[in-house]
Chains A and B, each alone.
Chain A
């Protein structure tokens, strides 16, 4: 399964002030989950090079995390840092929406 360490993107920073902390919640290795992870890696490489850290949580292995982290949809990407907390649900296929959701680009909000 996807390991947090291996999932960490290239050019990982060591938790500095600017480092984005992202968590991707999946439930097993479904095509949708894999697509989400691929999309996430791509977006991060393009927009957050060297400034991000991704943790992948498989809820089938850690069901307790679903309640603890308040996840109900799969897949869900959570931006822990920087605040405020943001949630992006879906396979992250619509890049523009992901960027808006992650506040990497100003959107309709």
Chain B
């Protein structure tokens, strides 16, 4: 981000001073109002001091703006010690004149007030420190201690007003902290009346025995700030805000494909497996083989020399390893060679944000190519569904940004019904594989479906698979009518084989029949032919005889006519 946000012609839009605090500059659209005071209010222990100090430390380190920390509570030694655990070396910054710490001790028991006074001493101290290091930023933590240490409230109020004006004139971007007041007031002493430009509220709540820190921009003059509460974490590098709205979706993408470790499953993904930066959700009821499926991919990745981090939220690591060995997957060598890291924790151990940041920290440190979250279901016990979705959105985004293949498992409780968790997150993931059972004929068989897989053609088939001693075996595609599995599938196949055999026999039989019929027909033709010939021969013989007889008769009559002098030929009976 730039050091200075653009200045609008609109006078109401304040120039921004970036805090450098993760997420805060996003939700404030660039940082705090420059050269003006911001009030940071909250109860004790909510992180006010940390936020304020981080503002100075990051200002000094990242933006070259030295800062003065005026502490009314902790002394310099304690501040050094407290912030060292957060990786902030305040001593070094002080030595380099990038930071000045001034502890103003306002102890009522040591102070007696007699008559009129002002706080010019404080002004002089601040002015001296600011001039010494050329400060651009300042923190007053917490100015309200003055009210506890002094009795003349009228003087304090007048002087506070003058002090904040003094800081503005000095061109200092300031954070003034205050204790939350009763009855919804921002601060106990109402110091918000002096700080009109920006008010940030911090909250530290304990819900269901889990502590969650939240930040809200209660007021930001001339800015369309969100009124959302943003959960935040205090971790080793300071404050980390988790604003869902601040997540960009401009992630880079890859066309590289990686194997799922199951060749036939790769085939279902267009023959090439999944994209190397995909987020994959595998849902299924208990015992459907989610972990086994995921571990095939882990095993394959490690085999290819890629690193993997396995976050186990349900089972212990030895238990996972043992169970996998029983199905022929041995991840131990990868663990030993350092390619595979396991992190086991109970989801309800920490709040969601802590989990999220722990995962992010581990991923940043180890830089794995594959990350397993097994299972994500139990997070629903830690936060409500919106929070879980926010956390997973950020996590999926974070991992995709790093080109990590994310494998998440999620337990469903019944049949094909999608659980709320799955509904909420299925839209976040690229690939959604559903495992389940099919009941038939007294047994249960596993089935697998690819519900969706962005950016690739994928199988729409429901496939049966078995978990064998050599891992997951996906069965042949059954192309007949109705998806059948297990024994039912075999029985059906047997029935069909029998039917086919019967059909074949029938064909043979009929073919034989045709042959027989033909032979019979031909035999009849032959006999009729013979009969006909015999008949014909007999008839022709008769005809010949008859003609012979007639011929002889004619000769006899001619002879007779000659004898009788007949005048007409052929008229034998002339009278």
A interface residue numbers (CB < 8 A to B): 25, 27, 32, 59-60, 63-64, 66-67, 70-76, 84-94, 97-98, 100-102, 109
Contact = CB atoms under 8 A, between A and B. Distances in A.
Contacts of B119: 72-74
B346 to A, nearest CB: 49
Interface stretch (B86-94, B109-117, B250-258): B109-117
Nearest to B152: A90
B111 to A, nearest CB: 5
B116 A91 contact: yes
Nearest to B106: A72
Contacts of B125: 63, 66-67, 71-72
Contact of A97 (B103, B110, B113, B127): B113
A27 B120 contact: yes
Contact of A89 (B102, B104, B109, B112): B112
A90 B114 contact: yes
B114 A89 contact: yes
B121 A66 contact: yes
Nearest to A89: B117
11 contacts: A32-B116, A59-B124, A66-B128, A67-B102, A67-B129, A73-B117, A73-B121, A89-B113, A92-B114, A93-B115, A97-B112
A93 B114 contact: yes
Given A27-B121, A70-B103, A73-B119, 10 more contacts: A27-B124, A63-B125, A63-B127, A67-B129, A73-B118, A85-B110, A89-B111, A89-B117, A89-B150, A98-B112
B526 interface: no
A84 B102 CA distance: 23
B114 A59 contact: no
Contacts of B128: 63-64, 66-67
Contacts of A98: 112, 114
Contacts of A101: 112, 114
User: Majority SS of interface residues in chain A?
Assistant: loop
A32 B114 CA distance: 12
B105 interface: yes
Contacts of A84: 110
Contacts of A32: 116-118
B111 A87 contact: yes
A60 B516 CA distance: 134
B115 to A, nearest CB: 4
A48 to B, nearest CB: 16
Interface string B117-154: 11111101101110000000000000000000010000
Contacts of A109: 109
B114 A88 contact: yes
A21 B24 CA distance: 51
Interface of B: 102-106, 109-122, 124-125, 127-129, 150
Given A63-B127, A67-B128, A72-B125, A91 B117 contact: yes
A86 B106 CA distance: 12
Contacts of A92: 114-115
A91 to B, nearest CB: 4
B61 to A, nearest CB: 24
A70 B104 contact: yes
A97 B104 CA distance: 23
Contacts of A93: 114-116
Nearest to A32: B116
A94 B121 contact: no
B129 A72 contact: no
A86 B112 CA distance: 8
A70 B129 contact: no
Contacts of A75: 117
Nearest to A107: B112
A94 B150 CA distance: 16
A60 B104 CA distance: 18
A102 B114 CA distance: 11
A74 B115 contact: no
Contacts of B116: 32, 90-91, 93
Nearest to A85: B110
A87 B114 contact: no
A70 B105 contact: yes
A101 B113 CA distance: 8
B112 A74 contact: no
Contact of A66 (B109, B113, B124): B124
Nearest to B159: A73
The 5 closest A-B pairs by CB, nearest first: A101-B112, A93-B115, A90-B115, A91-B115, A74-B120
